[in-house]
Amino acid sequence: MQFIKQFLSEANQIIEQLDAQQIERSVDLLAKTRQEEGRLFILGVGGSAANASHAVNDFRKIVGIEAYAPTDNVSELTARTNDEGWSTIFSKWLEVSRLKVNDLLLILSVGGGNLEKNVSPNLVAALNYAKKIGTKVLGIVGRDGGYTATVADACVIIPTPNPENTTPHAEAFQAVIWHLLVSHPKLKAAQTKWESVR
């Protein structure tokens, strides 16, 4: 029972400490992307890759933004890993997708990428490619935000009240934040099913 109460208390602390201004900036970036008919590319590895897949559905169906997650194409993902190496799987995918200035890159990550520690170098390479093109970057990341926080145009950092629970909180709150975004009045374009059933 003690762990349960502690975990829930940490979740409450995270909610209290979230930066609403960064969330609002995220809303504005997404609204501009849709208005300019840009595409949304959502990148994540591990649990964040699963979140990316779910988020793609929501941004397409609820917000009406053309959205993709490279990790949804496991054949290309594994071919690129096998033939070219792990670090370029996303940047090469974005290159073939002809990433443009009016597109938007959304990074979902526990740490945001860190080359020095060799954690998520594929995210770092994708971020560098996006910045080279001039594509805007949005991050929903944990810890200190890593490389994502240093280059993003908007970055929601999930606070870390307890380092022992960094990953579960970061990945859980990615879902909280993207669900907030797709529900925001500036973005929500289609009614969700259960809200339409009375």
What's the predicted TM-score (pTM) here? 0.95
Q: Give 128-134's long-range contacts (Cβ < 8 A, gap of 24+).
A: 128/91, 129/91, 129/94, 129/95, 129/99, 130/94, 130/99, 130/105, 133/99, 133/100, 133/101, 134/101
Classify residue 114 by its DSSP letter: B
Q: Residue 83's pLDDT is what?
A: 93
Residue ranges of the domains in the chain? Answer: 19-189
Instruction: Tell me what pLDDT residue 192 has.
Output: 85
Q: Which CATH class is domain 19-189?
A: alpha beta
Are 104 and 138 within 8 A, CB to CB?
yes
Task: Please report the pLDDT score of residue 194 as a whole number.
Answer: 85
Per-residue pLDDT tens over the stretch 164-196: 999 999 999 999 999 999 999 999 998 888 887
- Is residue 12 within 8 Å of 165, Cβ to Cβ? no
Query: C-alpha 139: how far from its chain's center?
Result: 5
